[in-house]
Copies of this chain bind each other. A is one copy, B any other.
Amino acid sequence: MAAKEERWRELAEVKRELAERDWFPATSGNLSIKVSDGPLTFLVTASGKDKRKETDEDFLLIDEYGKPAETGHSLKPSAETLLHTYLYQKTDAGCCLHVHTVNNNVISELYGDEKQITFQGQEMIKALGLWEENASVTVPIIDNPAHIPALAENFAHHAAAGSGAVLIRNHGITAWGRTAFEAKRVLEAYEFLFSCHLKLLSLRPQLVK
């Protein structure tokens, strides 16, 4: 199967699973997966589509400058394609998932002023590749300027390493990994950590590190 078809299949599978969890409310969210290096090309979700549906117009191929790499269609890439472009230019990420969930939005507002949130001691942190005892992980929280290039700049500062995540205040999370499998694991791990944190916070605020 050609690389593009294989990556399309992988991204469609991740999209299906995230849609089953209802993680694309009101057509929000955007996903991408790298197809080639030298030159960089990647598939990104088409703008404004209902991501609970599956069609052969779900994704379009983008070049290293963030522009459509193929003609003969009228699809527009997601408005936030620039963030994905910067990520692939700066790291060896292979897949990037941006979703709006209630929990990631609430966490991003609660800790927006601190500009980050740290988790420590949860077993789930191993899913992020950190295996030592009492490991901790910190997620940066950036502001959400309406002007996408400004947002992309903010994001690019924190885009390092092949896997990771950045919260965008009152907006959502962008999580990435070297493969679709890793990106989905990273996203699921953080959403789990956010859910536990919020539930603990609602019960025993002082317990939350």
Contacts and interface: CB of A to CB of B under 8 A. Distances in A.
Interface string A189-209: 101100110111111100100
Contact of A199 (B52, B102, B133): B102
A146 to B, nearest CB: 4
Interface residues of A, number: 52
A122 B146 contact: no
Contacts of A114: none
Given A123-B172, A134-B146, 13 more contacts: A21-B22, A25-B124, A26-B185, A26-B189, A27-B127, A28-B192, A106-B199, A106-B200, A109-B207, A110-B204, A122-B171, A123-B170, A198-B203
Nearest to A113: B207
Interface of A: 17, 21-22, 25-28, 50, 52, 100, 102-103, 105-106, 109-110, 121-124, 127, 131-135, 144-147, 168, 170-172, 181, 184-186, 188-189, 191-192, 195-196, 198-204, 207
Given A124-B28, A127-B28, A132-B146, A109 B189 contact: no
